[in-house]
Each structure stands twice: as C-alpha cells, then as structure tokens.
Amino acid sequence: MDVVTALTHRNSTRAFVDRAVTDEQVRTILDAARWAPSGVNIQPWQVAVVRGTTKQKLADALIAARATGAANPDYQYYPAQWFDPFKERRKQCGLSLYQALEIRREDTEKQKEAWNNNYRFFGAPVGLLLFLDRRLGQGAWIDMGMFMQSIMLAAQEQGLATCPQASLGEYPDVVRKLLGMDENLALLGGVALGYADPDAAVNRYRTEREPVDAFTRWYE
C-alpha cells in the first residue's frame, strides 16, 4: 500500500470484530513507527500495550472514574471556548457520528453507553496507550503526534484498523496507578487496534475535509 492511499483510506474505526492481533503484528507496527522524526532525536514516546484482562480492568476503572468524578487530563486538548470554523466542524462531526449510531439527542443512556465504548477501545483486541515525560517541552508533543500517525499508517499497511483516542487520557491517574507507570509520564491518549467490523454502520460514516486552497496560501 502506498503512503497516499494509506493516508486517504485511514479512518477512525469504532467497531471491531472478535479477531486476535498477534504480538508480532503489534511489534511490526511499533518497529516501523519508531522511525518517526523527533527533535534532536529525543524519541519521547513510551507505549503500554494492553489486551485481555488488563484491558478489561482498565475499561472498568475508567468507566467508574467517569461516573464518580470530573476528568483531570494531563493537558488541555480542546479550547475552553469554541469558535468558528472549529465549532461548526465539531458540531457536524458529532451529528454525523450520532446519526450513524442511531442515537437521538434526548437519548442520554445511549449517549452514555456510546461514550463508555471509548474506554473499551470500541471492542478492539489491543489498546496502545501513549506516554511522554511531562518535563519535556511542547515540541515533544509534536513528536508524539507524528509517532501516533506513524502507528496508524503502519497498521493500515498490515490490514488493521485504528482509532486515535484522546478520551483515554481523561483520567491519567487511574491509568498510571493500574499500570504502575511513573508520575512523570504524562498520558497523551491511546490507539484502538484491531480488525474493523465491515457491517457496523458507525464504520461507514466519514467526516469531510477542507480542500487544499481553503487552508493554503501561496507565495512567490
């Protein structure tokens, strides 16, 4: 698969089939992603691979945390106050997702269950949690974004589907405690990894992208 095809065919998969992903497959993906660029080659990424019992315990702990308290992420992903055009894009993304899931605005229980599926990695057999040392500068977070994209493209090459998930970083203390991670490691989020369910309607919806000329200025 060429890079352009991988980029344009990658999507956030939110329903997976019950099919195992081997350690060898995960290692192959990470072995490719480790070549992502980083400033002065600091390679800030740390990865926790969760599956089986540990993944289930993590999902239960995160769902319980959401039910009892407010999120306390290690960083602010979204703005405190939304504004256009980003506000409108966010709105359309949410509407399209809920339409695919056949969830109405007033159906709060289904909305709650849909959100909790984030913590279950949407049923994917493997979850990757991404950490970096919080003492590093903001440039390291750019490095982490390139590393995450590299994971997703390498997975695409393997015929695997992914979903990048900032939601997995909402309760970092819960995750660090369960996995025995150092307090200096900030939790960026995670990636669900597995085989997409082709029959799930939620996997057939797509978000739109702005054309090149909408975000590009040319100078001579």
Given a cut of 70, the residues of the chain with pLDDT beneath it are none
Pick among 3.20.20.70, 3.40.50.1100, 3.40.109.10, 1.10.287.3510: CATH of 3-76+119-206? 3.40.109.10
112-127, pLDDT tens digit by residue?
888 889 999 999 999 9
139-183, pLDDT tens digit by residue?
999 999 999 999 999 999 999 999 999 999 999 999 999 999 999
Q: Within a 10 A sphere around the Cβ of 147, how many other Cβ atoms?
A: 23
By the 8 A CB rule, do 98 and 117 touch?
no
Please, is 211 exposed, middle or buried when counting C-beta atoms within 10 Å of its C-beta (0-12, 13-18, 19+)?
exposed
- Amino acid 101: pLDDT: 82
Q: What pTM was estimated for this model as a whole? A: 0.94
- Amino acid 36: pLDDT: 98
- Amino acid 103: pLDDT: 79
Task: Give the C-alpha separation, 90 to 79, whole Å.
Answer: 12
